[in-house]
Amino acid sequence: MAIWNRTKECMSADERAELQGRRLHKIVDYVYHNTPFYREKMQERGIEPGDIKSIEDIVKLPFTTKKDIRDNYPFGLQAAPKSEIVRVHASSGTTGRPTIVGYTRKDIGVWSEIVARAMTAFGVTREDSFSVAYGYGMFTGGLGAHYGVENLGATVLPASTGNTEKHARLIKDLAITGIACTPSYALHLAESMEKMGYTKDDLHLRIGAFGAEPWTDNMRREIETRLGLKAYNIYGLSEIMGPGVSYECECQRGSHINEDHFYPEIVNPETLEPLGRDVVGELVFTTITKEGMPLLRYRTRDLCSLMDGVCPCGRTSVRMGRILGRSDDMLIIRGINVFPSQIESVILSLPEFEPQYVLVAERNGNLDTLQVQVEVRPEFFTDDVKTIELFQKRLADKIRSVISINATVRVMFPGSIERSQGKGNHVIDNRILK
């Protein structure tokens, strides 16, 4: 398959390290002189831009957290002057102050370049028509994917979220060949299309660019079967850029990081000690070319590992494994770490359940309880209590054997769990309120 930017995506390890070192030095010098926050942090550590000579020197630099960005709301971490900022995005779905990220014209150019790299890796060409069904607006998904698809030269249908029936109809009538949205929305769309009586043969979909939330290989297979396409992972976060920080290629052995723009590290989330790249830990990024709001060693809270080495696709950039969860939304039930994605995998390993579920954590006295509410598939739906109890027991037993956790299972009617247009929310933690 084609490669969008062979020079950058297939660099030798030495060439890349040299480029990263040069860019790191430049960005550190830039933030030192333009962001008082970083100047102070570096002065506290007794370091100056001149101390950062190669990429290995990155460990001398301070970390940055989401709290740092919030504490400097709205524009405290912005390095470029206001006159250079052409776009501002604001993070979605968080409590308190939103995270504001400003982009210069050059930043927008880099962003549309990295998304074009991703789309090319998914096999998108100028002949494709792509529906972008991430939310447009302050969320980075819609506009981020949009600019990349346009840059590549394919046609964009800026569908955004909502209005699912009209969207489904246009996918069919306009012979749309690609779709970019969250995996939860892809399933919702599949369901709506099934209700509208469409079959895979009415559609021309062949490529899906899914991300913005954790998903599993079981979910990938489910979406692929129901929509009749090949599903690829695209990862990103608004603080660093938006979608396109990393992307899968046809080999689907991890997602290639655009390392010439974002330098990744894996650290222990408790001690912040750098870990081996192949160990699961917290992913940290330094933006080495960004002008609007460059970040040094930003703690993503995402847990994953990295894979070095040349991929059979020819790209040499480091790959990240699937996000196993976040170090901050991981549920701890009676001392056991539980990631929603683990439960999802178990649910999908049984034929009677839809991948529509909510995990409800409660505290009874001092004891944590976990309830898994999950929809039964319409074809398995019955009002026979014995059968429903059997379904509940089967799932509870499997969760116990795979994740070593006792959960109660509540089987829900088909269609009764609220569908998400954007990122799915699978966790209700009522313990936090107490």
Residues engaged in binding ligand DLL (CB under 6 A)? 91-92, 134, 140-141, 211-214, 233-238, 242-243, 300, 302, 323, 326
CB of 20 or CB of 238, closer to ligand DLL? 238
CB of 11 or CB of 348, closer to ligand DLL? 348
CB of 313 or CB of 323, closer to ligand DLL? 323
State the minimum distance, in angstroms, from the CB of residue 402 to ligand DLL: 21
State the minimum distance, in angstroms, from the CB of residue 241 to ligand DLL: 8
Closest-CA residue to 148 (of 121, 183, 167): 121
Torsion of CA 123, 126, 131, 134, to 10 degrees: 70
Residue 381 neighbours by CB distance under 10 Å: 14
Task: Quote the tokens at residue 314.
Answer: 């020819």
CB of 83 or CB of 95, closer to ligand DLL? 95
CB of 4 or CB of 235, closer to ligand DLL? 235
State the minimum distance, in angstroms, from the CB of residue 141 to ligand DLL: 4
State the minimum distance, in angstroms, from the CB of residue 139 to ligand DLL: 6
State the minimum distance, in angstroms, from the CB of residue 339 to ligand DLL: 11
State the minimum distance, in angstroms, from the CB of residue 233 to ligand DLL: 5
| Calpha distance 338→346 (Å, rounded) | 12
CB of 37 or CB of 215, closer to ligand DLL? 215
Query: For residue 15, how many C-alpha atoms fall within 13 Å in the half-sphere facing its CB?
Result: 8
CB of 267 or CB of 409, closer to ligand DLL? 267
- φ, ψ of residue 160 to 5 degrees: the values are 55, -160
CB of 25 or CB of 89, closer to ligand DLL? 89
110 sits in which H/E element: helix 105-121
Q: Do residues 27 and 294 lie in contact, with contact meaning Cβ atoms separated by under 8 Å?
A: yes
State the minimum distance, in angstroms, from the CB of residue 258 to ligand DLL: 13
Which three-class secondary structure state does DSSP give residue 198?
coil
Instruction: List Cβ<8 Å contacts ≥24 apart for 390-399.
Output: 391/352, 391/353, 394/350, 394/352, 395/346, 395/347, 395/350, 395/353, 396/372, 398/346, 398/349, 398/350, 399/343, 399/346, 399/372
State the minimum distance, in angstroms, from the CB of residue 246 to ligand DLL: 8
Give the CA radius of gyration of the chain: 22
* C-alpha dist (Å) from residue 80 to 33, 35, 37, 102, 109: 11, 9, 14, 9, 16
